[in-house]
Each structure stands twice: as C-alpha cells, then as structure tokens.
Amino acid sequence: MDLLNTLVDKGLRRETPTREEALAVLATSDDDVLDVVAAAGKVRRHWFGRRVKLNYLVNLKSGLCPEDCSYCSQRLGSKAEILKYTWLKPDQASQAAAAGLAGGAKRVCLVASGRGPTDRDVDRVSETIRTIKEQNEGVEVCACLGLLSDGQAERLRDAGADAYNHNLNTSEGTYADITTTHTYADRVDTVQKAHAAGLSACSGLIAGMGESDEDLVDVVFALRELDPDSVPVNFLIPFEGTPLAKEWHLTPQRCLRILAMVRFVCPDVEVRIAGGREVHLRSMQPLALHLANSIFLGDYLTSEGQAGKADLEMIADAGFEVEGTDQVTLPEHRAGGGCGSHGSAEGAGCGSHEGGGVCGSASVPQASEPRTDLVAVRRRGAGTDLAPNA
C-alpha cells in the first residue's frame, strides 16, 4: 500500500504526515489492519527497538472532584461507585509505588483528582516525591495534579519530579462538549508550564467518546505541536454513573488504527497504551505493543486492569522486553536536548489545520457491542487495606 510505505519513510525521517494521510490511516479497512500494524511497527522499532516501558499509577486522592469532565468516574455528580478517599500520606504513597516498581515499573505516576493543586497540595506532593525517590533508586516520578498555577511546576521539579502529565483528551473543537468547568486552552497552558519548568511533558488523548476521525487527527496534531515526550492513548472506560456510560464506539481494530496513526504522527515519542486497553483491545493487546512502546502495569485510577503478571507474560510472549532503569526511553536526539529543543526536525510543529478540515465533520463510528463485564471498579491497592495488583 503506497500510503503505508510513504508513512514509514516519513516516520523514519521524523517528518510529519499530512492530515489527509493521518485520516487515511483511520479509514483503512479491518482487512488491512495487520498491514497498518506492520508498517507502524517499523517506525516503533526504529526509534525504540523492542523495549516496553512500564509505568505504575498511584491515585493519591480519589473522587470528590469539582470538575465535570464527562468521561471521568471521579467527576462532579458521578454516580459511579468508585473508591473515595482524601490524600495518601507520603509513606502510604511510597508503599503503593513500591509494589509497581517491584513488578518492573520504571516510572511512578502520582495522580490526584481536582481542578488543580493548592500551594499546600504542592508541598504535600513534593514530600511524597522526595520520599519515593529516597526509597527507590533510579525511579522516575511523574505528577498529574490538574491545572498548574505559576511557579508550581518549578516547585515540583525542585522536589525531584521528572515529568508532568496533563492530557488534552480531545480536539479543541469538541472540548466544550466534554467539559464545561475549564477550557482546552487551560490544558494547553499547563502543558506549556511543565515544558517551561524543564519537566518532561506528558500529554495525550481519550478515544471512544463519540469523536470523529477529524477530531482524533486534530488532537494528535495539536499534541505534535506541543511536543510532549510522552503521549498516553486512553480508550474510554464507559463507567456506569457517568454521562458517557453508553458510549461504546471502539473495536480492537479501530484501537489499533488509532495507535498506528499516533505513532506515524509522533514517530520518536513515547506512545503509551493507557486506560481501557483491556476493555477495548482485549485479546488484541499484544499487537498493540508493535505500535506503542509503553504501558501501565496493573490497575488504573478507579478501575482494575489486567493482572501485572499477565502484563509481563504478554510482553515476553510477544517478543518484547521490559525496559530497565539503566536504559534511556527516548531516542538520543530527544533525551539529550532538553524539553522543547527537539521541534526543529523537518515537518515538526505541524497541526495548524492545513487542508481545510473541519472538526467533527466526519461521521461518528457506529457503536460496538458493550462489554460492561470488563469494566471493574478498583477495590484494592491505594486507599484500601488490600494488596495492589502489580
């Protein structure tokens, strides 16, 4: 397929595809999905070999959020029967992190629900970061605390944070349909604050919220322009008790096409399969490792994931290897240049909606068969007396 050959060549040169090419990847048929995976896999292996980076989530504060993000089980007005608890103490968070690190995780992601941290919250998380770093040599720590105020990113960096996560989630054109208590511009601003502070920026998306192909391409091109080091690709977990509980638009094949499109647009970036992979990729998860070079180990914030042991077996059976703490995730030209210095490659900085595409103009995929049996609320790990899944 000429399209795939062109995209592989561009990916190996770090050249951005056109919007039309990105849309064409999403439009390929299920009959061609293995060809798409094979092509994007060449780009993934060129920049990341067969390494898979493992990340582990610690939910520092669960539920009780004043924001109204429609996809979130922790949102204002959510009736999802999730765990609700206030801040974990630093030692509790470090103990939770240790389970994931013992399972092979290289990065710990510290997450707290809410609009954004107060200065007191930043102090609390800073102490947690220092505790985890002191007790676990070589660990990377990423914070995800919501919208940042001036100076907060610098304080987290000084405490030892390596990265900051704040997802764009969906396209600018449809953002107000998903969230009304803050704006798309607010999210962009926080990613830029993390970059400016010298933190590795982590920002991604959620697929499966009823968006069109154009919306997906819009948000991925916007991410390319923001130039994060890591792009998590979440697949909506339709929690009962949230506004998007009936949104079941994803098939395993569509998830693979989305991951391939992200890899072609962001060839040398850590692409992470995040929440919802078990729900929507299901038995096709091993194929997704040919597209993404990073996954979360074990459970998510409020839902249960695949058993950590099963994750490790899947990686080994698929012919991949867990990335060690002594290995650098990013290619040398990204890892060595510092945040924001790697946008000068040919074609970088795209995402200006050239070509006249209109957000949301394509038809929304038809709903697939709901698999509510695969949506399990987390009842173990952080915030409970039960052992975590790692």
Q: Which residues are catalytic?
A: 65, 69, 72, 109, 142, 202, 272
202 is in an annotated binding site: yes
Cα distances (Å, whole numbers) of residue 126 to 114, 168, 382, 390? 17, 24, 18, 24
272 is in an annotated binding site: yes
Looking at this protein, which amino acid is placed at residue 78? S
Please tell me the distance from the alpha carbon of residue 290 to that of residue 234, in angstroms, as a whole number: 17
DSSP state letters, 126-180: HHHHHHHHHHSTT-EEEEE-SSPPTTHHHHHHHHT--EEE---BS-GGGHHHH-S
Computed on alpha carbons and rounded to an integer, the radius of gyration of the chain in Å comes to: 19
109 is in an annotated binding site: yes
72 is in an annotated binding site: yes
Looking at this protein, which amino acid is placed at residue 221? F
359 is in an annotated binding site: no
Please tell me the distance from the alpha carbon of residue 300 to that of residue 56, in angstroms, as a whole number: 8
From the DSSP assignment, how many helices (H) and strands (E) are in the chain?
Answer: 14, 10
Quick one: tokens of 297?
């180990």
The answer to whether 85 and 68 are in contact (CB under 8 A) is no
For residue 53, the SS3 value is strand
Please tell me the distance from the alpha carbon of residue 105 to that of residue 100, in angstroms, as a whole number: 6
Quick one: tokens of 167?
């997802």
Quick one: tokens of 360?
């949301």
Looking at this protein, which amino acid is placed at residue 52? V
Which residues carry a binding-site annotation for [2Fe-2S] cluster?
Answer: 109, 142, 202, 272
Which residues carry a binding-site annotation for [4Fe-4S] cluster?
Answer: 65, 69, 72
